[in-house]
Amino acid sequence: MSSPRSRVPAPGAPSDCRPSYLDLSDAELDRRREQALQELEDCRACPRRCGVNRMAGKWAACKTGRFAVVGSAFPHFGEEDCLRGWNGSGTIFFSHCNLRCVFCQNFSISQAVRPQAEPGEDAESIARRMLELQARGCHNINFVTPEHVVPQVVEALVVAIRSGLRLPVVYNTSAYDVVEALRLMEGLVDIYMPDFKYWTSGRSRTYMKAEDYPEFARAAVKEMHRQVGGLVTDGEGLAKRGLIVRHLVMPGQLDETEAILTWVAQELGPDTYVNLMDQYNPAGKVSGERYAEINRRLSAAEFRAAREMARELGLRNLDERRPHRKLRMLGMG
């Protein structure tokens, strides 16, 4: 078995930022890649478990065949402070999705784009994107909506690691994941960032077209926590490893928020890093009388109530916007 790679930080990366994948041998990386590609032959990459042969270019629920489709890749300054730092989080947004959220804020790339309307990218192409973001000084590589393309992400990471990738990897997900796929990512991902959306199966069916979402989300978030534990930051306040739980607070549905936060406090612990998000805006298929109950912005009073719930439950590591001093110096805070 090959020895682990030396942990030499990349230019622009913090000196103490040492991704966990540097402890994986060449033999283990090869094993992960081969296992990932085998998964595509009878696809069980996500809870839909469609069973199609994506290696042959077939697709089903996620509308993605052999190659992942990248919607965009850029340094993102809208993420949590511990991810964006002062040079941005190196986000790679994947098109298509395994959910059908009627309120999706990224509807144009998650559902509106037609299958095969955009060419997919092979592992070498996605790896180049990672290395370009690293060269631009990004603090991490942030895969957004990777649930349906875990095998392709593994394949691309193997190429990128062998080509000099040295940044922490962020898995930025809706939490509609299967544990088996997450175990393929173990040791490759440093930071898991699930958005736990709904607690009840009824609303999951209505608003995401996935009645089984809550059970898969609970299992997935627990597995993520098992792999990486609580959030750890370096001397600059940048995320190095761990779990960040997001929750988009929905108008008129604070009972969902309370149930999710109660579970987080009890199952993951009061020190879990939680980002309660207030940016809900009617989008996607929400318009007019269609889904009228969520066809409005979240009120300030509702968000204050959500924050108070979190505090009453003992959650003491809530996300607060405190832009990094270097970002403020650039006039971007």
Domain span at residue 136?
20-329
Q: How would you label 89-118 residue by residue, b for 16+ Cβ within 10 Å and e otherwise?
A: bbbbbbbbbbbebbbbebbebbbebeeeee
Report the C-alpha gap between 201 and 223 in whole angstroms.
20
Residue 4 lies in a domain: no
pLDDT tens profile 136-163: 999 999 999 999 999 999 999 999 999 9
Residue 80 lies in a domain: yes
Residue 1 lies in a domain: no
Report the C-alpha gap between 64 and 322 in whole angstroms.
38
Q: Report pLDDT for 332.
A: 65
Residue 193 lies in a domain: yes
**Which CA distances in Å does 311 have to 250, 262, 271?**
18, 11, 11
Report the C-alpha gap between 39 and 53 in whole angstroms.
9
DSSP state of 6: P
Report the C-alpha gap between 251 and 215 in whole angstroms.
23
Residue 258 lies in a domain: yes
Q: How would you label 286-325 residue by residue, b for 16+ Cβ within 10 Å and e otherwise?
A: beeeebeebeeebeeebbeebbebbeebebebebeeebbe
240 phi and psi angles, rounded to 5 deg = -110, -40
Residue position matching structure tokens 């929905």: 250
For 119, other C-beta atoms within 10 Å of its C-beta total 10
Q: Report pLDDT for 10.
A: 39
Residue 85 lies in a domain: yes
Helical packing angle, 26-41 and 150-162, nearest 10°: 150
Residue 5 lies in a domain: no
Q: Report pLDDT for 254.
A: 98
The enclosing domain of 222 has a CATH number of: 3.20.20.70
- What domain count does the chain have? 1
pLDDT tens profile 321-333: 888 888 766 666 6
The series of mean pLDDT values per 10 residues for the chain, 333 residues long, is 37 58 97 96 94 93 93 96 96 95 84 72 98 98 97 98 98 98 97 98 97 98 98 95 98 98 98 97 89 96 98 97 79 62
